[in-house]
């Protein structure tokens, strides 16, 4: 099963239920990284795209939340974020700079998403 081409991709927990925008916001907030909607996008858009509130981190992390019907299967993504790590957890795709200052918090938030709803 594949998420995308051209990325460093890890498949994590694709068989459990779908995650919500609130799940993603909560997981990152618990790790000290509050997220906001990408300017020009709203929570009603699919995928919902969230970035850190802190502008200094906004170039180093993006979370895309797809609809609940896309918790499994191929998302058909082509990602060209060289130097970024991309992790899929069910219907959520998180891309982040693995050398960023908050990498441990990002990985902890991803782990939190992995166990939610399982």
DSSP 58: T
* Distance of alpha carbon 102 from alpha carbon 32, whole angstroms: 9
Summarised one tens digit per residue, pLDDT across range 80-105 is 667 888 888 999 999 999 887 889 99
- C-alpha torsion sign, points 4, 79, 35, 41: negative
pTM higher than 0.85 for the full model?
no
Summarised one tens digit per residue, pLDDT across range 31-68 is 999 999 988 876 567 789 999 999 877 778 999 998 88
């Amino acid at each position: 099963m594949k998420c995308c081409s051209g990325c460093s991709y890890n498949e994590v927990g694709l068989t459990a239920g779908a995650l919500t925008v609130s799940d993603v916001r909560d997981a990152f907030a618990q790790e000290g990284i509050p997220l906001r909607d990408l300017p020009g996008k709203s929570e009603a858009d699919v995928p919902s795209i969230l970035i850190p509130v802190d502008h200094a981190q906004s170039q180093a992390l993006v979370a895309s939340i797809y609809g609940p019907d896309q918790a499994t299967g191929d998302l058909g993504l082509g990602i060209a974020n060289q130097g970024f790590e991309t992790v899929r957890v069910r219907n959520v795709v998180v891309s982040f700079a693995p050398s960023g200052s908050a990498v441990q918090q990002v990985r902890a938030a991803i782990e939190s998403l992995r166990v939610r709803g399982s």
